Amino acid sequence: MKRRFRSTAAGQHRPVMLAEVLDVLRPRSGALVVDCTLGFGGHAEELLRRVGPEGRLIGLDVDRNHLESVREKLQQIGPNFELHHANYAGIEAILAGRAADAILADLGVSSMQIDDPQRGFSYARPGPLDMRMDQSRGRTLSGLLSSIDEEELQQALAELGDEPQAALIARAIVAARDQGAIETTAQLSDIVRHATGQSGPWRLHPERGKWNIHPAARTFQALRILLNRELANLAQLLRVLPNALAVGGRVALIAFHSGEDRLVKKAFQEGLRQAIYAKGSDECLRPSFQERGANPRSRSAKLRWAERGG
């Protein structure tokens, strides 16, 4: 079968909604900006350029593998940045009392993580079932699946993956792991495919509502969010954001999953009601038609922003 998967080489990586992010965050010369999710440094690079030699960029990523390549990229622009191998849930400790003029978080995984078979993020690429964004700590997905309760698994698939066949898939995964550890992406992918009885071909980046989503796509997404505690980390970031921002400072968050976007929307609405935030987006911003065509990762992006009140 011909493979129709699209992948992104590091050099071709396109930051999602860059123009909109710059429009919203308005990074001025001399500003202190934080990029919570460096990835390839696509947004960070432009932010550092905009704040100029008098400004400063603080960059975070839980994935240490990203930091070195980003460092090289940023050094071409200037020395006024610092990079931390850190979770954005701990942004206050990183800022250590400094107040940011702009904060960006471009949530989720990077294409480098998805594309590297050794990381175990992709149902389409055979590799060990790791899936940790931070490989320096915590258990792998294989470890999590060895002991997870069937009900918890079913709930995660339904809530984090919008998987209509959550019960069926959870039962199949538990039955398989009772026979022996699920150690590879291919094993997990096969279990889901057999359980749902679907046959291909499938595309890696299907359009919403189209028939050709891979039967394991939702399962892999749900388990990634569960293993990496993505919603809990985001909820913690949203709680502490007001303390991290200077008065008049702005935050922009890009979500790729409805659960994430709901948390962001609620936190900003509540912040506006309590006048913690002075302004914010009523509706989320979406990538242009052109960007959606050129960059599949952007298709489900939703950007929301808020401005810290006085």
Binding site for ligand SAH (CB under 6 A): 13, 15, 36-37, 39-43, 60-63, 66, 87-89, 106, 108-110, 133, 233
Name the amino acid, one letter, at 264: V
CB of 116 to ligand SAH, least distance (A): 12
**Helix, strand, coil share (%) of the chain residues, nearest 5:** 45, 15, 35
CB of 155 to ligand SAH, least distance (A): 22
Nearer to ligand SAH, 133 or 176 (CB): 133
CB of 196 to ligand SAH, least distance (A): 28
Q: Helices 150-161 & 166-179, crossing angle to 10 degrees?
A: 140
CB of 38 to ligand SAH, least distance (A): 6
Nearer to ligand SAH, 31 or 38 (CB): 38
Judged by DSSP in three states, 277 sits in strand
CB of 197 to ligand SAH, least distance (A): 34
Asked if 26 and 51 count as a contact pair (C-beta separation under 8 A), the reply is no
Asked if 63 and 209 count as a contact pair (C-beta separation under 8 A), the reply is no
Nearer to ligand SAH, 260 or 307 (CB): 260
CB of 191 to ligand SAH, least distance (A): 26
Distance of CA 174 to the CA centre of its chain: 27
CB of 108 to ligand SAH, least distance (A): 6
Nearer to ligand SAH, 38 or 195 (CB): 38
Asked if 25 and 43 count as a contact pair (C-beta separation under 8 A), the reply is no
Of all residues in the shown chain, the one whose CB is closest to ligand SAH is: 39
Nearer to ligand SAH, 133 or 144 (CB): 133
Residue ranges of E strands in the chain: 32-35, 56-61, 81-85, 100-106, 245-255, 277-280, 302-308
User: What are the two backbone dihedrals, phi and then psi, of residue 14, each rounded to the nearest 5 degrees?
Assistant: -115, 120
Nearer to ligand SAH, 4 or 262 (CB): 262
Nearer to ligand SAH, 69 or 198 (CB): 69
184 - beta bridge partners?
128
Nearer to ligand SAH, 121 or 277 (CB): 121
Q: Which of 275, 268, 276 is CA-nearest to residue 306?
A: 268
As a whole number of angstroms, the distance between CA 253 and CA 236 comes to 14
Q: Which of 70, 125, 88, 112 is CA-nearest to residue 228?
A: 88
CB of 310 to ligand SAH, least distance (A): 29
- Residue 165 in tokens: 């066949």
Judged by DSSP in three states, 290 sits in helix
